[in-house]
Amino acid sequence: MKKFLSGMLIFFIAAAAANAAKYEPVPAKVKMPAKYTEEYINEIAAVYKKNSNEQIIFVALDMLQGTTGEFSRNAILGDNLTGKPVKIEFKNLSEINPSYENFDAVGWKRKGSLYIYINPKHKEAPPGALAALLSHEALHQDEYNSLSEETYAWTMEATVWYEMLQKYPELENVDSSLVRRENILKNLFEKGKYTNKYIKKNVYANKGYKGLPISSPGFEDL
């Protein structure tokens, strides 16, 4: 009986190790909130494995719970226009379009499925910052875009980052290009007294959005 139990224990340990090995681990340089132990990350993998094979993405998505970005989290899990989980990966964005080389992320629809591609330079960004970025990109669910849609998405991102800093104020000073982006958005959000006032001005002045219509399906003029 003891041999049987010992054998079963070895089997379960081996199975757990094999399951964890399928996922890309969180980079060693990334400081995680205390809650996200290796054991806990392996537990939540069952929820997010259809979205990514990156453990840091599991954590980022999980951190959206209880924030304004929970809508985006649900969209990523499958509550979106396609009805399918959104696939998320770090990818050289110039492979999609040379003009995207320095973008932080892009949302993409291909063959009826949605994808979010994140610039690999953010692989070591805090998961709270990645959560804010994902809350933005998850709002782009079709082939159409507009100034109103971008205004809404940027405001969502700013709001989520603001909420992250309420829980984890130390994130504001992490040396990361993504954190710098999020802090700029937070400052615009606060300057506008927690409205989209200054974010909208920046969106409308952004040369990358030149030629976009004012509205798109689901996003009227804000």
Residue 1: pLDDT over 80:
no
User: Quick one: pLDDT at residue 21?
Assistant: 54
Residue 222: pLDDT over 90:
no
More reliable by pLDDT, 7 or 177: 177
pLDDT tens profile 54-98? 999 999 999 999 999 999 999 999 999 999 999 999 999 999 999
pLDDT tens profile 134-189? 999 999 999 999 999 999 999 999 999 999 999 999 999 999 999 999 999 999 99
Residue 18: pLDDT over 50:
no
- Residue 109's closest CA among 150, 65, 68, 142? 142
Kindly state the DSSP code that residue 143 receives in the 8-state scheme. Answer: S
User: Quick one: pLDDT at residue 181?
Assistant: 98
Instruction: Label residue 17 by pLDDT band (50, 70, 90).
Output: very low
- Residue 182's closest CA among 124, 123, 131? 131
Burial of 168 (0-12, 13-18, 19+ CB in 10 A): middle
Query: 18-41 b/e with 16+ CB inside 10 Å = b?
Result: eeeeebeebeeebebbeebeeeeb
The pLDDT mean for the chain works out to: 91
- Residue 46's closest CA among 72, 85, 90, 91? 85
Q: Report the pLDDT averaged over residues 106-127.
A: 96
Per domain, the residue ranges of the chain are: 2-209
User: Quick one: pLDDT at residue 9?
Assistant: 40
- How many Cβ atoms from other residues are within 10 Å of residue 178's Cβ? 23
Lowest model confidence (mean pLDDT) among 53-62, 104-113, 120-129 = 104-113
User: Quick one: pLDDT at residue 220?
Assistant: 83
Q: How far is CA 194 from the centre of its chain?
A: 22
Inter-residue long-range contacts of 98-105, CB under 8 Å, 24+ positions, other chains counted: 104/133, 104/178, 104/181, 105/133, 105/134, 105/136, 105/137
